[in-house]
Amino acid sequence: MSAGVQTNRLTTRDIRAMARSGEKIAMLTAYDHVTAGLVDQAGVEIILVGDSLGNVVLGHETTLSVTLADMIRHAGAVYRGTERAMVVCDLPFGTATDPETALRNAIAVLQQTGCQAVKIEGGEAAAPIVARLVGQGIPVVGHIGLTPQAVHQLGGYYRHGKDAPAAQELIAAAHKLQSAGAFAIVLEFVVPELAAEITRSLEIPTIGIGSGDECSGQVLVINDLIGLNVEPVPSFAKPKADVAAIIRRVVSEYVAEVKANPPAMDS
């Protein structure tokens, strides 16, 4: 592609402009080509190829088993299924432990998938990593609050920022990540009033998940949105469909049709 050719795909500038104008940002996860295409056609601005694929697609109890190769395979499929949405890929557990390791792995993600940005979990300690990537031209989304890659250290899944010290830590982390160059920050399962305060205090957009309605945008796991689950959905997710029930019904009808027409037996 020549330098003068423009595409319709959204960029970090577009996302920042939406936040400045007060337009909410819609983000959803996707893990495969077809789902990504449908989400893209429906008008979502950012598609996150989350390491939540470990739970949703691969059947692991946590995200810790997801590898860089897993992320690259799925992110490439997602990117090839889209035309307009910005595509962001998680750097999975153990791939962003220091600035140089993160840079090497982020480069691999962008080169091998086409994705435009990566997401990194962590607070103030992640700021130097973010700065290193941004310094090399790699857009980064931060992620604070409930960080699933640290589930064992955190001691489980719970709402963050309930007391004053925890709230101040999250506020400081958000500003450190902004100063490091992150163009957006995911706030996961943060006390809604605190999420609103952080959002008002930043110049970059926040993307909430289970953190109230006053973030700059919202993200959900696509399966939780459409009801494509075999396990209970998180308390903050309100499915808008029951795709799992449709699949069970249609497959049951198919099974019944097959069994209603037994093969002919030789006489």
Phi, psi of 215 (to 5 degrees): -75, 170
Q: Which two tokens stand for residue 252?
A: 């049951």
CA atoms of 230 and 223, how far apart (whole Å): 10
CB 30 within 8 A of CB 12: no
| 188 labelled catalytic | yes
Q: CA torsion 77→6→131→54, rounded to 10°? A: -10
Beta pairing, strands 117-121 & 86-90: parallel
Amino acid identity of residue 100, one-letter, is: E
Q: From the candidates 45, 188, 193, 231, which is the catalytic residue?
A: 188
Please classify residue 134 by burial: count the beta carbons closer than 10 Å to its beta carbon, then call 0-12 exposed, 13-18 middle and 19+ buried: middle
Q: Which residues pair with 188 in a beta bridge?
A: 145, 209
What is the CB neighbour count within 10 angstroms for residue 98? 10
Question: In angstroms, rounded to a whole number, what is the distance separating the alpha carbons of residues 225 and 16?
Answer: 25
Phi, psi of 119 (to 5 degrees): -120, 135
The rounded Cα 165 to chain-centroid distance in angstroms is 27
Task: Quote the tokens at residue 132.
Answer: 């290193």
CA gap 112, 108 in Å, rounded: 6
Q: Which residues are catalytic?
A: 188
